[in-house]
Structure 1
Amino acid sequence: MTTTSTIDPAHRPHLGLPKLVWALAATHFVGRAGGVVRSFLVLYLTQAQHLSPATAGAVVAAVGLGDIGSQLLGGWLGDRIGRRNTMLAGFLGGAAALTALGSADSLPGIWVAAVGAGLTLELFRPAGSAAVADLPAPQRIRAFGLLYWAANLGFSVAGVTAGVLAKHGYGLLFWINVLASLAAALIVWRRVPETRPAGSARMRQALLPVVRRDRLMIAMMAVHVGYFTLFLQTFTTLPLLMTAGGLGPATYGAVLTLNGIAVVALQPVAVRLLAGRNAHAVSAVSMLLVGLGAALGAVSHGTAGFAGSVLIWTLGQIGIAVRFGDTFAGLAPAELRGGYLGLASATWSIGAVLGPLAGTALLELAGATGLGVACAIGGIVLFAAQRALGPALRRRTAAHD
């Protein structure tokens, strides 16, 4: 059965954006504000479950492995059964998976639950992104920006509360996260209409053959896998570096909160400043900043140094986020938006697998200095690669215009 859009044009938008976007922003805020487990997972595994740093890093990577399937499945389901149903399945499934992960008392059980959490917790992202991509093109950058802003406002709340609550036991963090997933599901159920274009399921081409012929999409995915590997390793190595420097979970939570606060304060400004600029130039400079910021964090020794590194790579993170969804949405055929955005989101998930593995391995084998050198080189290489894709991106944009 074909699902048609239920957005009522008579419903006037708020601040130039449809009510759908504000409902999605609410789910992002609630999900991130209550999403307190993932940032503290490596500390839970090493301190509460007494796993080695390398094993804990591998378990965090298992969550990322589940994420890969989640993004691909979320994009596919978003085009097949609709954006709304896919988001509901993700939030409800995530609540169940987190309950299992927090209750697991054996390593095999932890592994299975970790993969399950990754497979469900991010299922909503490609479906939600596809719903935004279904909007008229002029609204997309602001809509994607609002979702990102809401998520980071929630993330800043999570950083403060989780650092304090972790003192009372990590089990409490799991229950908060479960309740947040259920609350997000309720918002979707009550407030998010279906947006999948009428007839898209019938007209849908097979995703894989289309993407195989789209060399620009493949190249963009490869560059973003590298970027997210570099970026996401910081969330595994940073707490280990700070712990080695004698700083506790509360300090780590406070430093990490700077990331969310900076995004909340600067991202709306960044949307206005960067929306009209070349996407490839914005992305290239942003990737370089992330590499340099991560390098600084690897060689820092005190709270000020770690905080400075977070602020530097946060500037790069903001730059990527401003144009990420809109750029990939512009690459996608209308009937394959969910699939393309699922693949784009999967680059984040692949980075979530490779980042913890690469970061912890480098830290263990080469020490903090070796990790810092690798991060700086990675940022430079990504800058050059993204700049090289500029002409092709301009031609694609001109063709779509």
Structure 2
Amino acid sequence: MAGRLPTAVRVLILARAVNQLGGFSLAFLTVLLADDFGAGLTLAGVVSAAFGLATIPSRLLGGRLADGWGRRRTIVAGLLGCAAAQLGLAAAPDLLTATLCAILLGLAFELFEPPSQSLIADAVPARDRASAFGLLTTAIAVGSLGAGLIADVVGRWSLRWLFVADAATGIACAMIVLIALAPDAPDAPDAPDAPDAPDAPGRRGAERPPVPASAPWRDRALLAVTASGTVFALISMLVLVALPISLGEVGLRPSDAGLIMAVSTATLVLVRPLLRTALLSDLSHPATFILGYTLMGAGLLGYAFAHTLPTLGAPTALYSVGNLLVMGRSFALVSELAPPAASARYLAVYGLSWGVATLLAPLAATWLIGVSGVASLWAVTAGLCGVMVVVQPGLARRVGGGGDDLGVIHSTNAVAERYDAVSI
């Protein structure tokens, strides 16, 4: 029943889908800097890395503001800040101005993620969070379907207009959140020294030393999950950054990345019913990570040998399904570690993995392509997936005690009936 999904979560899902309609500009940042501003591939990668570096304090500030200033205010501020920086990039007269706007974009880029994720984590029962985060991913993918087509059409005209489109959808998303979400409640004092409740469903308070809600950096389990999440984020960002560049290297248009990403989105929408089958929904965290990273690696190996749009379809589908499986379980695992008063701060620390990845991915992608070509880039990225097939399941068992007591072996069929009734 749609009514069983909290209104705030429904609004957030709708707003993020709207925002994602323009959400492919980041994939073209390196290409824009190289082509429109004459930066050259290496310098464009350095500027994109500066953007990634700026997202690290952005994520931390987003978590702090979400718990102190309020989630709705933080989400709106982050979205409007991104829009302003994107419009600046679109209108920049020279490389220096574009670089400054890219850094400002990074400083605003992650502000709205911790409050968005913590809103879901706190509103949804622990055993249902993997499905809830998966639904958010799917909703964003629905927006991406339109974004891919927009990127393909608008990108042939001018890459700058992609940033204008992204800014417009960000403003629309901010207005939805501002109008439809309830105002932030007055600040309530935190209970910084309150440990996890031992009997709270989905939490591991009885299995690890108590961690103050205000000190996520002292939670070794969170730091271990964040380290593994950094590898996952690096793989994801390498694909995002390198895909337009690699298409140009094999004789296709960089803007064709929009079509490839539209294929990815269509795959996520079509495969969601299969994720509700008992075969997949009853998998534990470790088993899901094995399957997810295996599919991602197979898709990336396919990219190494595919040089036409039709042959890129199957690898894209494999990679997309694997990415969805890993991402949903990763955020669920982090939310299960967080004390009740600190979900935003825990998710902010975990989200630093994406800041690090956004810093490293442009440098790694441009260097690998320049030194050894596109095929080597995809082979190395597939190799990282192979490493995670071995490492991630063991980490999930150590952190989560095998998974069963966290409620991660659950029936997604019942959960899906609750969430799929939401109209996107």
Normalising by structure 1, we get a TM-score of 0.89
Q: Quick check: 1:42–1:56 contact (8 Å CA) kept in 2?
A: yes
Letter in 1 for 2:225: M
Shift of residue 262, structure 1, vs aligned partner: 1.0
Q: Are residue 235 (structure 1) and residue 240 (structure 2) matched?
A: yes
Q: Are residue 337 (structure 1) and residue 343 (structure 2) matched?
A: yes
- The number of residue pairs the alignment matches comes to 388
CA distance in 2, matches of 1:374, 1:36: 24
Shift of residue 109, structure 1, vs aligned partner: 2.1
CA distance in 1, matches of 2:24, 2:12: 19
Question: Which residue of structure 2 aligns with residue 16 of structure 1?
Answer: 4
Shift of residue 207, structure 1, vs aligned partner: 7.3
Shift of residue 70, structure 1, vs aligned partner: 2.0
Question: Which residue of structure 2 aligns with residue 261 of structure 1?
Answer: 266
Letter in 2 for 1:150: A
Secondary structure of the 1:334 match is coil
Question: Which residue of structure 2 aligns with residue 104 of structure 1?
Answer: 92
**Residue 169 of structure 2 is aligned with which of 167, 171, 180?**
180
Q: Are residue 76 (structure 1) and residue 71 (structure 2) matched?
A: no
Q: Quick check: 2:27–2:244 contact (8 Å CA) kept in 1?
A: no
Question: Which residue of structure 1 aligns with residue 152 of structure 2?
Answer: 163
Q: Are residue 298 (structure 1) and residue 287 (structure 2) matched?
A: no
Alpha carbons of 1:372 and 1:147: their partners in 2 closer, same or farther (altered >3 Å)? Answer: closer
Q: Quick check: 2:80–2:171 contact (8 Å CA) kept in 1?
A: yes
CA distance in 2, matches of 1:196, 1:30: 25
Unaligned runs of 5+ in 2: 194-210, 408-424
Q: Quick check: 1:231–1:294 contact (8 Å CA) kept in 2?
A: no
Question: Which residue of structure 1 aligns with residue 13 of structure 2?
Answer: 25
Letter in 2 for 1:324: S
> Which stretch of structure 1 is more off in the superposition, 325-334 or 362-371?
362-371
Q: Deviations over 1:241-261 (max 9, x none)?
A: 211221114433212211111
Secondary structure of the 1:216 match is helix
Q: Which has the higher helix share?
A: 1
Shift of residue 381, structure 1, vs aligned partner: 1.0
**Residue 391 of structure 1 is aligned with which of 385, 389, 397?**
397
Secondary structure of the 2:251 match is coil
Q: Are residue 215 (structure 1) and residue 220 (structure 2) matched?
A: yes
Letter in 1 for 2:141: N
Shift of residue 139, structure 1, vs aligned partner: 4.5
Q: Quick check: 2:397–2:403 contact (8 Å CA) kept in 1?
A: no
**Residue 144 of structure 1 is aligned with which of 115, 122, 133?**
133
CA distance in 2, matches of 1:324, 1:271: 18
Q: Quick check: 1:74–1:126 contact (8 Å CA) kept in 2?
A: yes
Shift of residue 24, structure 1, vs aligned partner: 0.3
Normalising by structure 2, we get a TM-score of 0.84
**Residue 376 of structure 2 is aligned with which of 370, 377, 390?**
370
Shift of residue 128, structure 1, vs aligned partner: 0.7
Letter in 1 for 2:61: L
Alpha carbons of 1:14 and 1:90: their partners in 2 closer, same or farther (altered >3 Å)? Answer: same
* C-alpha RMSD of the superposition: 2.5
Alpha carbons of 1:373 and 1:40: their partners in 2 closer, same or farther (altered >3 Å)? Answer: closer
CA distance in 2, matches of 1:304, 1:297: 12
Letter in 1 for 2:223: I
Unaligned runs of 5+ in 1: 1-12
Alpha carbons of 1:68 and 1:212: their partners in 2 closer, same or farther (altered >3 Å)? Answer: closer
Alpha carbons of 1:284 and 1:193: their partners in 2 closer, same or farther (altered >3 Å)? Answer: farther
CA distance in 1, matches of 2:274, 2:212: 36
Question: Which residue of structure 2 aligns with residue 60 of structure 1?
Answer: 48
Q: Matches of residues 299-338 of structure 1 in structure 2 within 5 Å?
A: 299-338=305-344
Secondary structure of the 1:335 match is coil
Q: Quick check: 1:258–1:310 contact (8 Å CA) kept in 2?
A: yes
CA distance in 2, matches of 1:284, 1:311: 17
